[in-house]
């Protein structure tokens, strides 16, 4: 399946590839924050929705590895699913420390999860790589010290741990994207663009506006 030349791979990696798109999402999120920290209520809202996103994403990572016809990519998804396992519990623990309950998923969260399900169960399961590229490239671009509200203390497991874990995940996912055959690379990038829109809507809905 990996039938592109090493030079092509290298140029895609260094040209930015998914990085360019995914940092686009981080930039859009930062633009909305406009240099401000999240308010406590926004942070709680985000954690509640991230809980649902994270739980659903893990389940589909496990499931999609069985359906991918590219053995190397499938293996990577098996390993990656193992590494993402249980991370929604970090959001749950953070919420518990803040004295908050897990809220029901918002419509924007349901749309995000429905898209993951649709791709994972669809005729081109390798497109999940586009979804992973958006998700994994977001956290390393965010600085918890700059965006988290004051006074949350230890209730910051989900965000701070992901900013560390996802540095390696983002490198790995970008490499997997760069190694795709040309036709699949185009499709995966298109899925990444589509998922980025859904993920941006997810953030806006989860965090709400600072004043409402
Ligand atoms: Fe990750």
pLDDT tens digit sequence for 145-157: 889 999 999 999 9
User: Quick one: pLDDT at residue 17?
Assistant: 47
- Nearest residue to 176 via CA among 163, 167, 185, 166: 185
Question: 55 C-alpha vs ligand 1 centroid, how far in Å?
Answer: 12
Question: 84 C-alpha vs ligand 1 centroid, how far in Å?
Answer: 6
Q: Which protein residues have their CB within 5 A of the ion that is ligand 1?
A: 136, 166, 169
Question: 212 C-alpha vs ligand 1 centroid, how far in Å?
Answer: 31
User: Quick one: pLDDT at residue 8?
Assistant: 55
Question: 209 C-alpha vs ligand 1 centroid, how far in Å?
Answer: 27
Over 80: is that where the pLDDT of 119 sits? yes
User: Which residues does 61 contact at the CB level (< 8 Å), separation at least 6?
Assistant: 77, 80, 81, 84, 128, 132
Over 70: is that where the pLDDT of 211 sits? no
Give the pTM.
0.87
Among the residue ranges 24-28, 113-117, 185-189, the one predicted with the least confidence is: 24-28
Average pLDDT in the chain: 87
Over 60: is that where the pLDDT of 101 sits? yes
Question: 135 C-alpha vs ligand 1 centroid, how far in Å?
Answer: 7
User: Quick one: pLDDT at residue 18?
Assistant: 46
Question: 166 C-alpha vs ligand 1 centroid, how far in Å?
Answer: 4
Task: Give domain 6-207's CATH number out of 1.20.910.10, 1.10.12.10, 3.20.20.70, 1.10.287.110.
Answer: 1.20.910.10
Question: 14 C-alpha vs ligand 1 centroid, how far in Å?
Answer: 21
Confidence of residue 104 (pLDDT cuts 50, 70, 90): very high
Find tokens 């741990």 and name the residue: 161
Confidence of residue 141 (pLDDT cuts 50, 70, 90): confident
Question: 211 C-alpha vs ligand 1 centroid, how far in Å?
Answer: 31
User: Quick one: pLDDT at residue 199?
Assistant: 95
User: Quick one: pLDDT at residue 184?
Assistant: 97
User: Quick one: pLDDT at residue 209?
Assistant: 65
Question: 3 C-alpha vs ligand 1 centroid, how far in Å?
Answer: 27
* Domain ranges, ordered by start, for the chain: 6-207
Question: 66 C-alpha vs ligand 1 centroid, how far in Å?
Answer: 20
Over 60: is that where the pLDDT of 19 sits? no
Backbone angles phi, psi at 206, to 5 degrees: -65, -40
Question: 93 C-alpha vs ligand 1 centroid, how far in Å?
Answer: 18
Question: 47 C-alpha vs ligand 1 centroid, how far in Å?
Answer: 16
Question: 8 C-alpha vs ligand 1 centroid, how far in Å?
Answer: 26
Report how far residue 31's alpha carbon sits from residue 49's, in angstroms, rounded to the nearest whole number. 20
SS (H, E, C) the chain: CCCCCHHHHHHHHHCCCHHHHHHHHHHHHHHHHCCCCCCHHHHHHHHHHHHHHHHHHHHHHHHHHCCCCCHHHHHHHHHHHHHHCCCHHHHHHHHHHCCCCCCCCCHHHHHHHHHHHHHHHCCCHHHHHHHHHHHHHHHHHCCHHHHCCCCCCCCCHHHHHHHHHHHHHHHHHHHHHHCCCHHHHHHHHHHHHHHHHHHHHHHHHHHCCCCC
């Amino acid at each position: 399946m990996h039938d592109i030349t090493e030079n092509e791979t290298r140029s895609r990696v260094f040209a930015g590839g998914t990085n360019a798109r995914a940092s686009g999402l981080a930039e859009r999120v930062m633009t909305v924050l406009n240099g401000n920290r999240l308010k406590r209520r926004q942070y709680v809202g985000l954690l509640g929705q991230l809980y649902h996103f994270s739980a659903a994403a893990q389940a589909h990572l496990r499931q999609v590895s069985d359906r991918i016809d590219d053995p190397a990519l499938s293996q990577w998804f098996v390993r990656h699913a193992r590494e993402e396992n249980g991370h929604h519990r970090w959001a749950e623990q953070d919420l518990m420390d803040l004295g908050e309950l897990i809220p029901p998923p918002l419509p924007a969260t349901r749309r995000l999860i429905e898209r993951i399900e649709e791709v994972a169960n669809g005729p081109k399961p390798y497109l999940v790589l586009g979804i992973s590229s958006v998700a994994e490239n977001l956290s390393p671009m965010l600085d918890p010290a700059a965006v988290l509200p004051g006074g949350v203390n230890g209730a910051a497991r989900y965000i701070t741990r992901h900013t560390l874990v996802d540095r390696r995940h983002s490198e790995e996912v970008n490499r997997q994207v760069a190694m795709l055959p040309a036709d699949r690379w185009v499709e995966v990038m298109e899925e990444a663009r589509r998922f980025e829109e859904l993920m941006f809507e997810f953030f806006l809905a989860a965090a709400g506006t600072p004043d409402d």
